[in-house]
Structure 1
């Protein structure tokens, strides 16, 4: 066999073998053009690690961050593994964000180290829709391990940053291997023409996006299908496409 033909044949065989194990990367769109346009490939990358935190250090913004993560998990397929160190999640609130109780497997452990170990195993499993880690600190080394496991299985990993002490909040500014980093803050609800409380509103900040740009969005909170929405007064106004304000490159 001529040398050139042999090399071409070898290349073809290597490509054939590699294609068997090559996982096609897919995304989970938010269904809001203004948000999806800011994300590479038009959605939140599956088979990747993403970080979510409250905009402030208080319980209200922290709860909004948890519901944002629940909305993402709700739109995946399969069971959701949620690893915690304290049993303070309110299942009916998660259900209102689209994450039904019968889809969630809760694992309660004593510290962040054990949470990370459980999440790593969950991401490796490959049969889960999403794996959520409630943690205070996340090092670059730990985040790389989680990101590697997520990429290998195609499962989305969500690092939900929660702090018991004020000093722990500064850790959120440290670099990690997360593909995106989100910060969620509660905004006043829309005023209704009748007594009552309108749909919750959030300031959703995309503060880091690999191969993309940062931006912030004023959105209505997740509905019972896990979907966010543009407030009607923003969606109907001229120039609504500019609701996602440009930030610094990530």
Structure 2
């Protein structure tokens, strides 16, 4: 009787086969060294990325604008699969994502939103597809990842929690290439009365084949670009880093 093959060897063989079939669609750099170095050059196209806000409404808004800024730096139409009719188009427009580039699809059932996202990702004519979900399983994310590899565009899962307990599922493993958490951070104080530039805490919690990051950045400008505030270069936010 032949001995059983080593499981680790089999997994490595499967990984190499999948890598050989995968399309190399390129990278979208942030032009922020603290992020691009951990991403091996930038955000992978032809892949799915998982994004969530922190704990409050301001964090949810920051996460939405973070996603809009990414899409603003791509060329072509965008499909956004909405969970609820509360999308405020002028907000993403300030991050560079013009409303006339976005195709809005309001789909109440998560299964139907996933199907719409998967179909959109297979179309090479779309620059990116966003789907708002509360949960994302390994099987679901794998289907989306395969569709993104086929179409070559950018897929983003934007978490929208129905209940506070749903956020606990964000730490569960899935097939997304990266996982992010975006939170609003205090603005820099101005020497005169007024509102300072908005800033975000940007956490790269997981990156397939890369590292993690936890930095304070200036929010997206009108071209979708993030900025590293003066005086914060090479500094992480907080003493401890959380892992997904």
TM-score, shorter chain, exceeding 0.5: yes
TM norm structure 1: 0.84
Unaligned runs of 5+ in 2: 1-20
- Cα distance in 1 for partners of 2:135, 2:173 equals 11
CA contact (8 A) 1:214 1:247 kept: no
Match of 1:15 in 2: none
- Cα distance in 2 for partners of 1:85, 1:55 equals 18
Match of 1:38 in 2: 38
- Cα distance in 2 for partners of 1:107, 1:91 equals 13
Match of 2:234 in 1: 241
For residues 57-206 of structure 1, what are the structure 2 equivalents within 5 Å?
58-206=56-204
- Cα gap change, 1:148 to 1:168, in 2 (>3 Å): same
- Cα distance in 2 for partners of 1:229, 1:118 equals 33
More helix by share: 1
- Cα distance in 2 for partners of 1:121, 1:147 equals 12
What displacement does 1:244 show? 8.3
Q: 1:49 and 2:48 equivalent?
A: yes
What displacement does 1:195 show? 2.2
What displacement does 1:217 show? 0.8
- Cα gap change, 1:152 to 1:66, in 2 (>3 Å): same
What displacement does 1:247 show? 5.8
Match of 1:224 among 222, 237, 243: 222
TM norm structure 2: 0.86
What displacement does 1:32 show? 0.9
**Matched residue SS, 2:93:** helix
Aligned-residue CA RMSD (Å): 1.9
- Cα gap change, 1:124 to 1:75, in 2 (>3 Å): same
- Cα distance in 1 for partners of 2:53, 2:23 equals 32
What displacement does 1:164 show? 1.4
What displacement does 1:140 show? 0.6
- Cα gap change, 1:99 to 1:212, in 2 (>3 Å): same
Aligned length: 223
What displacement does 1:215 show? 1.5
- Cα gap change, 1:244 to 1:155, in 2 (>3 Å): farther
**Matched residue SS, 1:232:** coil
**Matched residue SS, 1:102:** helix
Unaligned runs of 5+ in 1: 1-20, 235-239
- Cα gap change, 1:242 to 1:190, in 2 (>3 Å): closer
